[in-house]
Amino acid sequence: MGRLSGKVALITGAARGQGAEEARLFASEGASVVLTDVLDDDGKQAATEIGSAATFHHHDVTSEAEWTSVVDAVLAEYGQLDVLVNNAGILAIAPLVLTTEAEYRRVIDVNQIGTFLGMKAVVPHMVERQQGSIINISSVAGLMGSPGMIAYGASKWAVRGMTKSVALEVAPFGVRVNSIHPGIIETPMLEEFEKWGVMGAVMERVPVGRTADAREVANLALYLASDESVYSTGSEFVVDGGMTAS
């Protein structure tokens, strides 16, 4: 018996990086996993590599209509949805005065509105079943100030706050909502730091002196997806090599 046997998990932004790793780990623990992303080729490949436990759906998290059709498709296929990982996200690096309104809105749209729409799409079903675990991927940027990343920081602080608000709304109905706050994780997202030549400065803020593998975040997501974490809701779970300790 796997730690997620009998559960169905929907993971956004799962074509690569942390989302793909969570899909692999959840499937290996017995879950049926639904990977969604805007990167269709990578997403289909990730699902194919996992095998029959996985399916892929094209899904832009900023579209409420696409959320409705993805959740409808999952319920038609599996009849239930136990876990949602709101993982899709984008990073934009620029100081305040060089951040355009369009860029700011784009980051908020994906990271914040996408998470809002995701929770809204699945909560009625989870409340009806009196069970469910929603895992919102925030960041250490949702726990502290992040110079040069105003839009990203704003979106990740919002995710942290939204997590607590919804957790309080749905706790009486057996549904849990928690946030994960990763530090510096080896995924394609780090290319943005490298592009701006700030990777060295970023690493100076990591006490353990190394980046993390995506599996190190997926392990935490697995715990929150499973019934082992049944008494945890509205909480922040940090996996950051000590970044936020000081």
For residue 218, how far is the Cα from the chain centroid?
Answer: 10
Q: How far is the CB of 174 from ligand NAD (least distance, A)?
A: 26
- Which residue's CB is nearer to ligand NAD, number 18 or number 226? 18
Q: What single DSSP character describes residue 13? A: T
- Contact predicate 162/116, CB 8 Å: yes
Q: How far is the CB of 22 from ligand NAD (least distance, A)?
A: 9
Q: Length of the chain in residues, anyone?
A: 246
Q: How far is the CB of 187 from ligand NAD (least distance, A)?
A: 3
Whether 152 sits among the annotated catalytic residues: the reply is yes
Question: How far is Cα 52 from Cα 33, in angstroms, rounded to an integer?
Answer: 9
Q: How far is the CB of 163 from ligand NAD (least distance, A)?
A: 13
- Which residue's CB is nearer to ligand NAD, number 7 or number 16? 16
Residues that bind ligand NAD (CB under 6 A): 12-13, 15-19, 37-39, 59-62, 87-91, 110, 137, 139, 182, 184-185, 187-190
Token pair for 141: 């940027």
CA distance to 31, 140, 151, 206, per residue, from 78 (Å): 11, 34, 37, 42
Token pair for 4: 């997620």
Sign of CA dihedral 131, 21, 222, 87: negative
- Which residue's CB is nearer to ligand NAD, number 17 or number 132? 17
Kindly name the residue from 78, 104, 152, 231 that is annotated as catalytic: 152
* DSSP assignment of 92-157: --B-GGG--HHHHHHHIIIIIIHHHHHHHHHHHHHHHHT-EEEEEE--GGGTS--TTBHHHHHHHH
- Which residue's CB is nearer to ligand NAD, number 127 or number 199? 199
- Which residue's CB is nearer to ligand NAD, number 169 or number 192? 192
Catalytically active residues are 152
